[in-house]
Amino acid sequence: MSLQITPLHNVGAEISGFDINEPMTDALKNELKSLWYEHGVLLFRDQDITPEKQIEFSRIFGTLELHPLKAETSEAYPELFVLENGGDKDKFFTARYRGEEIVGRLDWHIDLHYTGRPNHGALLRAVVVPSDDGLTGFGDLAKAYDALDEKTQALLEKIEVAYVFCMQRRHMRYVDLEGYEPGPHSPRKPADMNYPDFPDAVYPAVVRHPVTKRPVLGIVEQFLDRIITPQQAGLSNDEAIELLHRLVEHTRKPEFHYFHQWREGDMILWDNWRLMHCATGTHPGVKRVINRTTIKGDAQLGRVLIKE
């Protein structure tokens, strides 16, 4: 196989000339791995994928992980997690955004951020997708870091930020709550969804990517709560809050984003140590099925804050 690489809009690359069902040499596997680190997001189109193939392909990039929170992993394939809109569970994930009911919308986030040990990456494969709904967004936090002025970059070296896991979106300090209303079945506390109560997780404001060593901006709106000891960086509490608002706004700039409109047969792999992602959600009743495999996070990027 000889791969052709076409950059996607702003972030990531589409890889063509690839067939998941063809035998793969070690050289090809290494090429795929370095493309993943180089571009952060890889899109493969028109792939005829069985769950077995998806699992086998994902293993090229690391050890696979079972999602620790989900009871819905496929019984036959425990490495496979099925993301589904348009089924019985919709009511728990339905809320109003500016007057419109949306199912499964997710703010920009990093998977397992709240544990201090995010997954290394994940692979999504479109099984059933609507033609104009349910987009997945990817935001490159390495590019976002590079685009900061030097003064801010230097200041961030002195700062750590805390993330607080919670179920209620309106308790999150830095997400956009304008026009948001939770649905009648929106979970209120972690136990409502059989989630444990996670302690706060703390990250440096600049995370070094464990493999590429590239600096990655450690600011992501979901669960973002505060700067730990802002005084050590010469900031008052008000200045600390202002700085986080400014950084979150920075990560929202479209120049760091790629939004993927799914087609059946699409497969996307991303580096969760470098990119945040989000879901625009679907309109009620719209069917969407995505199969997901997850590459284990074998490095500690943050730490858990133990309360005295």
Tell me which residues touch Fe ion (CB under 5 A): 111
CA angle 268, 92, 65 (to 5 degrees): 40
**CB 22 → Fe ion: shortest distance, Å?**
30
Selection from 107, 229, 237 nearest residue 162 by Cα: 229
**CB 280 → Fe ion: shortest distance, Å?**
13
Which are the contacts of 108, defined by CB distance < 8 A and separation ≥ 6?
Answer: 137, 139, 220, 221, 222, 251, 252, 276, 277, 278
Q: Which is nearer to Fe ion, 139 or 204 (CB)?
A: 139
**CB 268 → Fe ion: shortest distance, Å?**
12
Q: Which is nearer to Fe ion, 18 or 93 (CB)?
A: 93
Q: Which is nearer to Fe ion, 111 or 140 (CB)?
A: 111
**CB 201 → Fe ion: shortest distance, Å?**
16
Whole-angstrom distance, CA of residue 218 vs CA of residue 228: 13
Inter-residue contact 52 to 64 (CB < 8 Å): no
When CB distances to Fe ion are compared, the closest residue is 111
* CB-count burial class (<10 Å; 0-12, 13-18, 19+) for 34: exposed
Whole-angstrom distance, CA of residue 292 vs CA of residue 179: 31
Q: Which is nearer to Fe ion, 14 or 111 (CB)?
A: 111
Whole-angstrom distance, CA of residue 126 vs CA of residue 133: 13
Whole-angstrom distance, CA of residue 120 vs CA of residue 275: 10
**CB 277 → Fe ion: shortest distance, Å?**
6
Q: Which is nearer to Fe ion, 86 or 104 (CB)?
A: 104
**CB 207 → Fe ion: shortest distance, Å?**
17
Q: Which is nearer to Fe ion, 54 or 136 (CB)?
A: 136
Q: For residue 225, give the H/E element and its range.
A: strand 224-228
